[in-house]
Each structure stands twice: as structure tokens, then as C-alpha cells.
Amino acid sequence: MITLQGVNKWYGDFHVLRDIDLTVTKGERIVICGPSGSGKSTLIRCINRLEEHQKGDILVRNTPLTNDVKHIEIIRREVGMVFQHFNLFPHLTVLENCTLAQIWVRKTPKKEAEAMAMKLLTRVKIQDQAKKYPGQLSGGQQQRVAIARSLCMNPEIMLFDEPTSALDPEMIKEVLDVMVELAEEGMTMLCVTHEMGFARTVADRVIFMDEGQIIEENDPETFFHHPESERTKLFLSQIL
Ligand code: ADP
Ligand code: MG
């Protein structure tokens, strides 16, 4: 589904991603963790071209990410993204947030788009909030709307960037539950998260990044109980 080969990225002089190699197969669930500033967000933002890489290859379902707008459009279609700060449109209702891209990007008729939105809002158990504005919802509810909004575009791959780290503790579970369900339904997922319980239960692989590099990757059991690198051990000792 996703292949990165020798991917490098710089912000000006700052070398933020260093020789990243990563392959994600269909249905695989990958958790990425690592210290703040290690390049996790940059890495997943490169996968749907919210950031541009300068060296190496990124392929999403065999479409190479290049400057070709057609390729970028194809990839954006396949890849859904959920951000730490929800990024909902504040002036649109929950329902409108979920229908906007369907109507304008996919040219789906409004009625159909609304039916799809209600189906997915029901799936994240928030259908009764459809007429409200994001500001009237709790953080956990807003994040579930953001997930539903992404799913409305029928993505093949979902990218999550610390989806629970802006949430109050009591709301983390309601968002993780939705993510676990998605994982169980076979969605290909790449999640930046420090929720190690989530990593243990659903991840096929855990990747540890530091200073723009993949330092270590393993199945969760090995990763948590027998980390190889000193940097991974230090990181785990700080978060567990
Ligand atoms: P993480 O998500 O692991 O915390 P990021 O990918 O957000 O890390 O950032 C990695 C590094 O790149 C950090 O040092 C950050 O300050 C820097 N950085 C992130 N975005 C930009 C940007 N748009 N311009 C310049 N530097 C950036
Ligand atoms: Mg980040």
C-alpha cells in the first residue's frame, strides 16, 4: 500500500528525515512513536504530500508521489488523515464537515453525501450531534467527527497524527475505541501515537523514530519487552 525508499527531507538546512525505508502492506497496522521533534509528523505528512520530500521515493498503491498534480490527487483520494487538533471547519455543522469534500471533490449529490455522513457518524456514535457546530462538542466528540469525515471519502489508508494527545484523559478511550474498531475491520493504518496500550493490542509493528531516522522496528511484544537500541530503551522508560 505504501513504500518509502531512501526518503530524505530538509526544512531549509535542517535535515528532518534521513534515509527512511518503510513498507506498509494492505491491512497492516503500524504505530510510530519517538520523542518530540523526531520527525514523526513530517514523515506521515509526506505520505499525502502535505509536506514535500526532496530525495528518495514514496509510492502509494504504486502511484509515485511526484510534483504531478494528477498523482497527488490520486493519492489524496486513497489516504485519509486525522490530526492532533481535529482541524474541523468551525463555521460548518458536523454534518456539513462530513459532506463538504464529498460534494465538492467527489461531486456526490448532496442527499447521497448526507446519507454517507450519517452512516459514518452513527459508526462513531455521534449521529445525534450532526446539526451542531464543532465548538459545541467536546474534544473527544470532535475527534470522532474528524475520523468520520475522513472515512466519508472511503480511504484505503488512514494516517493518524497523535489523535488523542490533545484530549482530556476521559475522552481518550472513546477515540481509541473507534480506532481499534477500524483496525479490526482491516483498515490499513499508520498511527503516530504514544498510546502504548493501543500499540500493544492492535499494532502489527511498532516503529521508533529519533532524529529523523527509524531507529528500530519490531512486533509490539519484542518492541516493548526486548528493545534493542539504547535510545528505544530510554524512550520507553520515560513513557511507560
Ligand atoms: P514530531 O512530530 O516527531 O514531534 P515533527 O515532524 O513535527 O516532529 O518535527 C521534526 C522537526 O522539524 C522539529 O525539529 C521541528 O521543529 C521541525 N519542523 C517541523 N515543521 C517544520 C517547518 N514547517 N519548518 C521548519 N522546521 C520544521
Ligand atoms: Mg508531531
- 230 CA to centre of own chain: 27
Residue 43: nearest ligand to its CA?
1
Grid coordinates standing for 90? 468551525
Residue 165: nearest ligand to its CA?
2
Q: Residue 40's closest CA among 190, 188, 189, 205?
A: 190
In this predicted model, what pLDDT tens digit does every residue of 115-133 receive, in sequence order? 999 999 999 999 999 999 9
Contact, 25 vs 190, CB < 8 A?
A: no
pLDDT of residue 189 exceeding 80, the answer is yes
Q: How far apart are CA 92 and CA 136, in angstroms?
A: 12
Rounded to the nearest angstrom, the distance between the alpha carbon of 221 and the centre of ligand 1 is 29
Site of grid cell 462538542: 137
How confident is the model at residue 212, as a pLDDT? 98
> Taking residues 60-66, what's their average pLDDT?
91
Least confident of 40-44, 71-75, 150-154, 227-231: 71-75
131-165 burial code (b ≥16 CB/10 A, e <16): eebbeebebbbbbbbbbbbbbbbebebbbbbbbbe
Atom 21 (ligand 1) nearest CA? 11
How confident is the model at residue 67, as a pLDDT? 86
In this predicted model, what pLDDT tens digit does every residue of 3-35 receive, in sequence order? 999 999 999 999 999 999 999 999 999 999 999
Atom 13 (ligand 1) nearest CA? 37
> Taking residues 169-184, what's their average pLDDT?
95
How confident is the model at residue 76, as a pLDDT? 87
pLDDT of residue 207 exceeding 90, the answer is yes
Rounded to the nearest angstrom, the distance between the alpha carbon of 79 and the centre of ligand 1 is 21
List, chain by chain if needed, residues with CB within 6 Å of any ligand 1 atom. Answer: 11, 14, 16, 34, 36-42
How confident is the model at residue 239, as a pLDDT? 86
Contact, 82 vs 153, CB < 8 A?
A: no
In this predicted model, what pLDDT tens digit does every residue of 95-107 receive, in sequence order? 999 999 999 999 9
pLDDT of residue 149 exceeding 90, the answer is yes
How confident is the model at residue 34, as a pLDDT? 96
Q: Which atom of ligand 1 is nearest to the CA of 39?
A: 6
Q: Report the share of the chain in percent with pLDDT over 90.
A: 93
Q: How far apart are CA 106 and CA 2, in angstroms?
A: 23
> Taking residues 215-238, what's their average pLDDT?
95
Q: Which atom of ligand 1 is nearest to the CA of 161?
A: 2
ipTM of the complex, rounded to two decimals: 0.98
Residue in 7, 11, 213 to alter for ligand 1 test, most ligand atoms within 8 A of Cβ: 11
Rounded to the nearest angstrom, the distance between the alpha carbon of 161 and the centre of ligand 2 is 7
Rounded to the nearest angstrom, the distance between the alpha carbon of 42 and the centre of ligand 2 is 7
How confident is the model at residue 108, as a pLDDT? 96
Atom 7 (ligand 1) nearest CA? 41
pLDDT of residue 240 exceeding 80, the answer is no
